[in-house]
Amino acid sequence: MGIGSEVEEGAEMKCRVCGSALRASITDLPFKVSERTIVILKDLPVAQCEACIEYLIADAVFAKVEALLSGVDASVELEIIPFAA
């Protein structure tokens, strides 16, 4: 689900599911990090499809997401973390 560096600046990206345009958006997304732990990342920058629920996360953003999720306490059932770019 990453947006690679091969994407040109200003180029319109298309959804791989429905073919509609993807637009830069800020959203909250849940991530299940263990059998009983869910983390919600708030204000996450994504490329969101205008027509369906598909989204892409840029590689640089996903690297930060992985770093945030690796530090989560797995004994907590729900954690909400603000994403700071």
CATH assignment of 2-82? 3.10.20.860
pLDDT for 34 equals 92
Domain ranges of the chain: 2-82
Nearest to 56 by CA among 78, 24, 32, 79: 24
Q: Say if residues 2 and 8 touch (Cβ distance below 8 Å).
A: no
pTM of the model as a whole: 0.78
46 CB burial (10 A radius; 0-12, 13-18, 19+): buried
Beta bridge partners of 48: 23, 55
Mean pLDDT by 10 residues, the chain (85 residues): 46 88 95 95 95 92 95 93 87
